[in-house]
Chains A and B, each alone.
Chain A
């Protein structure tokens, strides 16, 4: 007994020494979380050619990132995310030390210090009208020792000093319909040519003195055929354009101020014409390219302005910009994809026939075509010119090619994630060995000795570093099998490029990637868009041998009636199982709560004509579906119209679309918001797979409240039409925000509440029986968060224990939404300091663990806020009973505790979404935040109450137990001996 209690005491001592903590210690960073930095699809790259910095490249991307990359490894030196409303129009390097960016439709010009990315200056440029934005950094143009930058934006030509961003001169181009196409600065002269079209058939040329902005010449000439699209400069005083039919090429030269046109029908150049052409702009002297359907034609312009086809190819071809290599010589690169290889050729501008470089590089099929190429030269060991090429692929990845090899690659497609889902890893089979986890016994012992030392605070700094690296390297976490706690999963992400990636939750490495053919540009589908990812098949009970698969839904083009496309992808192998091009559009996808015998989930796709289509198209699925036919309802929100409608199914489709799996629908209810006073700005529902542990909520003084838990609740927020603009654009009297809770089966409004003087944007999250939403309070000049909790009163009488014992309760009776709901709502509002990008809520397997709100702040961090703070039952002075229940005294604002940032010191730049996935361990939830960056971590909102932490010292426990056992045996033998002696006495 004594020893037993001693043991218990010891174990208790152990548990109490495990200090449960809410936030991380410094050395725990990176143990369960990972962070990856991306850039997005590169739209412009400029190599740093200054003597000291030949190993760097500046890029701007479609995610509005400007970054400096290391050419050796592709690492980011520095990076700035400018934000979605500050689109980058152009970048360049000036003076060899400043990165110049033009953004926001040509109205903001910034200079960044190249080595460290500090902003040097910023100027705002205004102009009379909206126009194309062009940035030009002339090499040898100086105004009083000032290097200048020429910017054409908003109908105004500006010359800006490189040193301080001061505007030296400006010149307006206010011609009514003048559309400036190009600003050309012939090298070595002090002239600037501004060329453009006016009233669609007039070619205009302005010659301007670059030193003072004085207009030297203005010529215009009419061309009866009109112009189409862009112009491509071929010489410093010659441009090439297309006529309005796209069939005739125009060579326009404006030498000495005289404009002359030369027409060349494309049919004269190539025998078989393929319809209207498009100019691919390039800056190579004497060379330009046109594209007709899928055929690319490279044309050379001779000195007499004669056109000459030099290449005609069916392959998608990308041409780089011109790269000056020596006196008067320019090099450029052409790149094409052919099967598993890409062919890179570097040529001199005036000598088409010879190649400076010709290479073939093996390229993964799943990178698609080459979209862009940028070249840079270096001097080889043998003093000849070498070239390296930076290429942007169809999947938005960025690669550096040199000497026929891929030096590095960046998966920048991951910067634009559209949708995320998860998949379980395969179960550990007998064949799969796990033994290699610990290399050998000695290593294992050494590791545990180190840990023991660490625990007993005997470790030297080297030991601590060794422990830290050991923990980070822990091979357990990136294993490719399922783990007991469900921490290891695959994150399946769909990117804007139409590529599917599987990321391992352990360390974020890419397990496989697949470029979906159904989401690639093709003849039938010019602008495919990826929409959503759904779990198609989750092997569970009787289909354990099948691999899980996901359903990818896309559509052709942005219009609502564009036909859809489906792909089914195996999540273990990353192979496409099948794909379907649909005849109907996809307006809404409803994953139904039914699965067939192979665990394929039934999905209902609603098209723009409100027909429902069932997938999979199997007789079994139809029979399952028909059983539940009358219980399927859904709703549609017409944002721009201000109408929400409810629908049900009617029967098989009639008319020309007669199909076994097509069903007609009918409208059951509608809610029409008055167009002059309310505009829908947010709709939120509960997550479909959310689990609620208990309906009853025991409150202080042993009372029970029943949560109103319905999967069919919809939260809608509307604002006054006037107040739908930016914050502060209206007075508080003109603006209000109305929050609704709507039952989507019957269309009942269960709750409706108006917040006067409030304004959007509204970010909301719905979970269990509560909704939390975030908006701006104009009267208080602060952001506010409100909570609405909804409780079921019809079950409120079931408090009596005797009723429960005798079975006289209605807890097990089925709920019909057609009954009149008897609900009460409780709500409260609090001030919140931050503006918010997105809100999510933690979710756990069984829903027992208390919830945390995950708030994506404007600073691109994720803040965890306990739901307790948003409890509508908070009062100023809670009673003792309420305090014991965990109710916090009421405060007017929600606290922001610095330790509760989930992302600790990191930032998830351009944060767009937060996804939470339950782990198998009830206390833990997996959090994935994505934007330009990716961040993943594990959270335990109520701490890990159901497991020991990772750093639990098993060795110490083992040693203690062994020591105790030894002590027991020792004392036992001692006492035996003593007893024997006593007996012999």
Chain B
């Protein structure tokens, strides 16, 4: 795990070093990635809006720009569809839109995303039940631009309806953002949805929603070894050489025959006194027994 730490610290230093360009947003939202609808956390089971917690906003990057920042509240709606039906409103996302200018460019990001889910009407409940029975898709959609919905097109995501019901209807949104544009939304159950999917009706017809906003991560930069610019040749050569192997890995092909020879020598050495011993037996006038005994020893010699 050590190297993970190294990389994390590396990324952190990089992000501090690199000047904040428009595409690279403040660290704040990276923190936002963290899961907050954790297992065991108190869940709101009421049909009323579920406030989603957002982490404290204290980051140096933000402070630097705080003078230019302007916050405004925006809302955008979530639509849903049952199977192939048309989309109808299902809830509202609200968030704070942070705007700052930097180098003549305006950068906008969303923070403090909250989601309020409309509860299912009876008709919708019936439709959803039908979906569960036919193992069909429950589909949702979001505008691709939160400032001027629907933007270029709607972002659609769907899940097999049988993945949602547990105690209540559990859903999990991961919204991938780029500025004020929604790239994609990953929608599904917060846990696993084992296959084959079994028909199971929810105990409560209410939603417990978890939402996560995600922005792009910055790639780790290619490592630059300044010292290797001087001794680059050596470094290159080092790579070409195969890794140093252990003694056994290097010389096993010699060691095995050597071992065999040694073994052979030992057996012979052990046979020697035996043979001398048995060799005297026939002399004592027991040829039959001697023949029997000599068999194996001579075989050893011949093999």
Contacts and interface: CB of A to CB of B under 8 A. Distances in A.
Interface of A: 1-5, 8-9, 12, 15-16, 630, 643, 648, 650, 666-675, 677-678, 720, 733, 736, 738-739, 742, 746-749, 752-756, 777, 780, 784, 786, 794, 813-816, 818-820, 827-831, 869, 873, 875-876, 883-884, 886, 888-892, 895, 897, 971-972, 975, 979
Interface residues of B, number: 77
Contacts of A780: 222, 224
Contacts of B172: 820
B137 to A, nearest CB: 6
B220 A754 contact: no
Contact of A895 (B24, B236, B302): B236
Contact of A883 (B184, B244, B267): B244
Interface of B: 3, 6, 18, 21, 23-24, 84, 135, 137, 139, 144-145, 151-160, 163, 172, 174, 176, 178-179, 181-184, 186, 188-197, 214, 216-225, 228, 235-236, 238-240, 243-244, 246, 253, 256-257, 260-261, 263-264, 267-268, 298, 300-303
A754 B24 contact: yes
Contact of B186 (A748, A786, A816): A748
Nearest to A2: B264
9 contacts: A1-B303, A5-B263, A746-B158, A753-B218, A756-B219, A830-B222, A884-B246, A888-B243, A971-B302
A892 B154 contact: no
A117 to B, nearest CB: 36
B303 A752 contact: no
A49 to B, nearest CB: 54
A932 B31 CA distance: 52
Given A5-B261, A829-B220, A972 B302 contact: yes
B220 to A, nearest CB: 6
B3 A875 contact: yes
Nearest to A825: B217
A813 B193 CA distance: 12
Contacts, number: 203
A749 B264 contact: no
Query: A-side binding surface: helix, strand, loop or mixed?
Result: mixed
Describe B's contact surface by its main secondary structure. mixed
A883 B152 CA distance: 51
Contacts of A819: 163, 188-189, 191-194
Nearest to A3: B303
Given A643-B153, A648-B137, A891 B228 contact: yes
B240 A12 contact: no
B260 A816 contact: no
B221 A669 contact: no
A819 B218 CA distance: 27
Contacts of B157: 668-669, 746-747
Contact of A673 (B183, B218, B228): B183
A670 B236 contact: no
Contact of A754 (B84, B218, B238, B239): B218
Given A669-B156, A888-B239, A892-B223, 10 more contacts: A16-B253, A650-B84, A748-B174, A749-B174, A820-B172, A820-B192, A829-B219, A875-B3, A883-B243, A888-B243
A840 B186 CA distance: 31
A677 B179 contact: yes
B222 A829 contact: yes
Contact of A815 (B195, B217, B222): B195
A699 to B, nearest CB: 11
B183 A749 contact: yes
Given A738-B216, A972-B302, A670 B222 contact: no
A831 B222 CA distance: 7
Given A670-B153, A972-B302, A784 B222 contact: yes
Contacts of A669: 156-158, 184
A818 B184 contact: no
Contacts of B240: 895, 897
B221 to A, nearest CB: 7
Contacts of B246: 884
Q: Which 10 A-B pairs have the closest CB atoms?
A: A819-B192, A674-B181, A816-B195, A829-B222, A818-B193, A748-B186, A671-B184, A672-B144, A5-B260, A754-B216
